[in-house]
Chain A
């Protein structure tokens, strides 16, 4: 079969918020752009986001500003964030949200007609622009419709909708192609027909989302097989922060088939309380030292906060996600869990039924339809679920450029912005801010080239052989290997980690790599999920190995990485980033330490010394004193 070939200036891999925003930018800058995605157009993971997009517009509380948002983001990430990214994100998020409105988005409104904003964990002020609990749908539909609007403009001028921006839906990219060091193209197949295709392009923007499908219990869909992470590694780029995975504290635990599906944080934001099997509000026992002063210590005070936030501290149910997830995990392990292996989350005793249906319509629907539970009358059972990976492709903050020339990354597949733990709502805004920047970065890169790189015929032939191999083998069923990997990661590199368990996981992953090399897919090339999974296994295994190796190396606990054998957070480790690399065939994964650059003086002076002293080394504090002195 012939390989279908296409020429583009920019190929964006991924059609979620980050990919679409990148493609829009590239096209607006006059570049011929392709969008490639595994699902239908408009179905990417972003569609599932519920709570909202964080942007310091100050519509509800005028005290908000980018500086406050920046501080919250750094705190949430336990100061491991790439501070330049956190700065750009906080500064640009409002413009990106307003731009959506000008493209037709209809957010919920304040009384004076502005975009309404809601409270969320870790955000000092109400900050999340939202539409009920379906914000992701609004965002993806708006961006999708913006792409269509651009296509209509092109149709008016060129008589062809797809003259400058075209969507290749249900296509999977399996390899990036190179010319020397630089990107020259991308190779993949059409899911519908099995047709192979190759793009000739000097610039690729990765926007492929996360890796959750390496875990059994996850809020993520089948698309999250870590493809972009793996494609970047195999092309010679680096991944950072791979040890940091966010386990959302509240996923459904029953029935088994929906285990892991998300229960939005808004349930707790709107007054939901957590109880163990003994009926105790256990979160009061789990307030960590660094947060002692910000959270209520009695149920009475916590309850009063919902009506009087000025004079009371917030209840510990609203601690950052990593804290709540660990607490639930401990309760269940100590035998105080609910009958179905979680804990109880109850909003029915706080709000009248009518109000619950109004504020949390899709949660009400989800529990009613999938679990026969009426959340207006009875508690839900919930437990932690693998939700988001903070780690990803190491990029330049301003342009999204990876270390490989021509390669860019944005959204969940990129690393750095969220440090060791992401705040709710900061992903949707991240997609817009850095999607746009990566699209612009790619456009700028092309303008700087004096010749277009070309992929060699051999590299295309190799990619073809790799893609077709599972169809030509009568090997093991790929579903078995996948399930085994999911169990391994869930049990051995989950919320709480130990050196010996991680080592065991690494051995298991090694064996699974051997098995994956022998899996076979029966059937034809037409829409064959067994074949697709056989190819995805390479990516999941590679990414799992990075997660495990980085987790074994980092001997401290911070954000989305908790080591039972190193329970404390260490200022010395805060200065270190772990960087993963791999050989082109994916066989040798390496982890190296890299120094975290010091924060710029004007940014670090936004914090109080007492707060910083919990996170920084003595040496850094001396630098801080100097910076404050200078800014005076």
Chain B
């Protein structure tokens, strides 16, 4: 089962770099991250890559494999033929620090711009009562492991540095939707999604949904419903009033 694979890995730091060729052993059952680790242990001890859980749970090991955003730890070598050259590059949308490691601080900055969960002032810890069916929609979005591959693939910022200041990216637009659908959240989120976080830039191409390793339906379940809510309240003064007054029941029924 063991064979020698051909790898091309992007190497470099400080804004410069190139693809380097390696020939490396592959054993049965291995994933791309295992091969990167073998390169570290045998040929390139300073090769930089992020990882933690090795089981698709932490979202650290996001890279592009043959041009496609993937988790290195969940990409089996058996999905490639033995003579295929496997090219591993860092995520394209974020600046490279070194080799496969990017500066993902854009994502943490955006996370900080989304106003936090805002429960009503009079509910105390322990008093929350929510039906399973009412939490399920937000729970889907909370499966997010913050691999940032959706933000990496979204064309609004992938080759458009200039859009970054105004656009939170699918990950954090989904965070707004998550809070908007939380049965106890009372903050006003719909206008700011549009005005402050760039929901209007999204033209529902669904590329984000396609790469999500958690199979979250980002576009269908978060972004489109969010767009509908914005439209409803902007065009229909009654809906707008209703939203203000019946915020909680609204979020359960729409």
Contact = CB atoms under 8 A, between A and B. Distances in A.
A366 B55 contact: yes
Nearest to B27: A256
B44 to A, nearest CB: 9
B116 A152 contact: yes
A114 B46 contact: no
Nearest to B183: A106
11 contacts: A43-B146, A48-B58, A98-B125, A99-B125, A102-B125, A108-B135, A152-B115, A152-B116, A262-B55, A524-B13, A527-B98
Contacts of A41: 108
B29 A366 contact: no
Given A43-B60, A106-B139, A131-B142, A223 B52 contact: yes
B131 interface: yes
Nearest to A260: B54
B48 A527 contact: yes
B145 A137 contact: yes
A522 B44 CA distance: 9
B114 to A, nearest CB: 8
A357 interface: no
B52 A221 contact: yes
Interface in B173-227: 179, 182
A84 interface: no
Contacts of B244: none
A221 B47 contact: no
A103 interface: yes
Interface in A84-123: 94-95, 98-99, 101-104, 106, 108-109, 112-114, 116
B46 A109 contact: no
Interface stretch (A72-80, A528-536, A598-606): A528-536
A104 B146 contact: no
B135 A261 contact: no
Contact of B52 (A45, A101, A152, A254): A45
A531 B46 contact: yes
B97 interface: yes
Contacts, number: 171
A148 B142 contact: no
B57 A48 contact: yes
Contact of B53 (A221, A478, A526): A221
A138 B142 contact: yes
Interface string A460-484: 0000000000000000011100000
A277 interface: no
B46 A257 contact: no
B250 interface: no
Contact of B142 (A114, A141, A524): A141
A257 B33 CA distance: 10
Interface string A140-172: 010001101101100000000100000000000
B130 interface: yes
B81 interface: no
Majority secondary structure of chain B interface residues (helix, strand, loop or mixed): loop
B117 to A, nearest CB: 3
A113 B130 CA distance: 4
Interface in A497-545: 521-524, 526-531
A527 B103 CA distance: 12
Contacts of A365: 56
B29 A95 contact: no
B111 interface: yes
A45 B60 CA distance: 12
Given A101-B128, A366-B55, 5 more contacts: A104-B182, A141-B144, A257-B31, A369-B76, A527-B46
Nearest to B133: A109
A257 B34 contact: yes
B129 interface: yes
A529 B100 CA distance: 12
B46 A106 contact: no
B16 interface: no
B126 interface: yes
A141 B171 CA distance: 14
Contacts of A104: 116-117, 179, 182
B101 A527 contact: yes
Contacts of B52: 39, 43, 45, 47-48, 221-223
| The 9 nearest A-B residue pairs measured at CB | A255-B29, A523-B46, A530-B45, A104-B117, A113-B129, A149-B116, A527-B48, A98-B125, A98-B126
Contacts of B124: 102
A568 interface: no
Nearest to B74: A369
B143 interface: yes
A149 B131 CA distance: 26
A114 B146 CA distance: 28
Given A149-B116, A521-B46, A222 B51 contact: yes
A370 interface: yes
A48 B128 contact: no
Nearest to A366: B55
Given A522-B45, A527-B48, A370 B55 contact: yes
A141 B34 CA distance: 27
A40 B73 CA distance: 17
B45 A145 contact: no
A95 B125 contact: yes
A145 to B, nearest CB: 6
B30 interface: yes
Contacts of B253: none
B46 A42 contact: no
Contact of B48 (A101, A148, A528): A528
B112 interface: yes
A255 B40 contact: no
A364 interface: no
B165 interface: no
B41 interface: yes
B64 interface: no
Interface in A21-49: 39-43, 45, 47-48
A479 B42 CA distance: 9
A192 interface: yes
A109 B98 contact: no
